[in-house]
Every structure is written in C-alpha cells, then in structure tokens.
Amino acid sequence: MPSGSADISSILDRILDAATDNLRIAKILVQMGLDPDNVTYDAIFNRMLEIFVHNITLANLFATVGAGFFVATLLMRTMVPLRVANMIGCAFFAIFGALSANVATFLLYLLMLPINALRLRQMLKLVKKARHAAEGDMSIEWLKPFMTERKYRRGDTLFKLGDPAKEMLLTVTGKFLVKEINVEIGPGALMGELGFLTPDNRRTGTIQCIEDGQVLTITYDRLLEIYFQDPQFGYYFLVLTSQRLLQNIDRLQKQLATERAATTNRTA
C-alpha cells in the first residue's frame, strides 16, 4: 500500500478514536446501536445503511422526491420552471402527508398547489403577451392581475413634474390632463411609465384628474421584479415606452410646425 494512503488511514483512525473518547459522541454512538469501544468505519457505514433501509417507506420516498424538487427550485433562474417544480414538490409532499397521516403537512402543501397554479397561469399569460409585443400587440390587459385599484375625483393631482416616481398607472375610467403639454388622457392609457426609466426616478409631467375616474397602479419594484423574471417582458415594456416617446416627439414636431406656420403668416 502506498505510504500516502497509509498515512491518511492512520490519521482517520486517530480522529475516530479521539471522537469515541468524547462522552457526547459516545452517547450518540450508543443511541445508534454502536459500541463506543469497538467502532470502525465499516460498522458506522453498515449501521447507517441499516437505518436507511429500515426507514424506507412509501411515504418517505414521496417526501424525498418532493424535497428534490424543492431543492431544484433554488437552482432555477426563471419563474415558470420554478413554479412548475414547486407544484410538483408540493404534490409529493401532500401525498407524503396523506400516507403518513400528518394532517398539517397534507393541508399545507395541498393549499400551496392552487396558489402556485394561479401564479404560474399569470406568468404564462405575461410571457404570451410579451411575445405578442414583437408582433405589434400593445395591449396591457395581462398586467392587470399584478396591479391595485385606486380612485380619483375631479381636481385631484396624481403627481407633479419632478416628484419622486414610485409607480406606474393604467387608466380605467375618467379623464386626466397632462398640464405641461395640455393633453387629455382617457381610459386604457399608461401614465408614469417614463419615470421608471429616468436615472433619478422623477416625474416627467404633472397629471391632474379632470373627470372622476379609476386607475390601476403597479409599483416600480414590482415592475422591476417582473422585468427581470422574464426578459421578453423587458422587450415588451421598452416597446411601450418607445411608443410613448415617439408620440411625444411627433406631438412636439407638429407643435413646432404649427408655430412656424403662424410665425410665417405674421411676417408675410
């Protein structure tokens, strides 16, 4: 036998001998059914294998598979496969709870299944709509499940130019006015999305309610979370904001053209 292997073996034997001299470790060995005065690596291995085989049950097999899927969720970078793996893990743990007559475990993981299914459905809708963005579908109906409702009355100011921006809004009913450019916004329009892209997250205009209405809001933190969960949504959002910027540019160009025409007429 090579001297290196012999040295390692002797070191491990000394470590094992020293461990068995410890009263706490000796007590653990006795509880495991081992003799502290005659402990070998083969004896420990055989005893661990015996314990493992003795505890193999159908319920524990389901729990082991479920634990494997839960560990797999920690390695996943995107939400769709993570939700799928989580649902499978919950199903296995629910079966484990049923087979082991553990009502609390059974109910816990059984209730987690529809919650994960709902979130998965929402995420799949998001992915589908994000893909449609490349084809020109500019609807943002898919974003509504992630938003919260808020109501405004006539005369209310939603936010002012330069205010800190923390959320994006979608109009549902009512009318709103962008005061700086005197443009009315009706139902189905986004407001405050450009603040998400500005370096210091500041409002780029003042919005006032001119007719009682309802809006849906989503915080930039939630928007950022969705943005990074699915890169396609990032593209979708950029298309939306680019469209708004192009509309603003077109509006300014028409305004400049009108002012130039008026100046030309005055000087003619």
Q: Are residues 118 and 74 in the same domain?
A: yes
48 and 77 share a domain? no
166 in a domain, yes or no?
yes
- Residue 244 placed within a domain: no
How far, in Å, CA of 129 to CA of 245, rounded?
21
200 and 146, same structural domain? yes
**Encoded tokens for 33:** 């059914």
Residues sharing a CB contact under 8 Å with residue 63, sequence separation 6 or more, in sequence order: 92, 93, 96
* Phi, psi dihedral angles at 176 (to 5 degrees): -135, 150
Residue 234 has pLDDT above 60, yes or no: yes
260 lies in some domain: no
What is the reported pLDDT for 228? 75
**Are residue 45 and residue 62 in the same domain, yes or no?**
no
CATH code of the domain covering residue 214: 2.60.120.10
For residue 1, pLDDT over 50 is answered with: no
Would the pLDDT of 195 be above 70? yes
Name which of 33, 49, 40 is nearest 17 in CA terms. 40
Q: Which residue range(s) make up the domain with 100? A: 58-133
Q: Is residue 147 part of a domain?
A: yes
Same domain, 161 and 114: no
Q: How far apart are CA 13 and CA 7, in angstroms?
A: 10
Cβ atoms 140, 168 nearer than 8 A = no
Q: Give buried/exposed letters for 242-263 (b at 16+ CB in 10 A, else e).
A: eebeeebeeeeeeeeeeeeeee
Our count of domains for the chain comes to 3
Rounded to whole angstroms, how far apart are CA atoms 216 and 253? Answer: 31
Q: Residue with structure tokens 């009502």? A: 103
Are 92 and 154 contained in the same domain? Answer: no
108-148: pLDDT as tens digits: 999 999 999 998 888 887 777 666 655 555 556 767 888 99
Residue 192 resides in a domain: yes
**11, 32, 54: which is the final residue of a domain?**
54
Q: How far is Cα 89 from Cα 230, in angstroms, rounded to an integer?
A: 23
What's residue 146's pLDDT? 84
Is this model's pTM higher than 0.95 or not? Answer: no
Distance, in Å, from the CA atom of 176 to the CA atom of 191, rounded to the nearest integer, reads 10
Q: 81 with 109, same domain?
A: yes
- Cα separation of the two ends of the chain: 109
Instruction: Give the strand order in the sheet containing 213-219.
Output: 148-152, 213-219, 167-171, 190-191
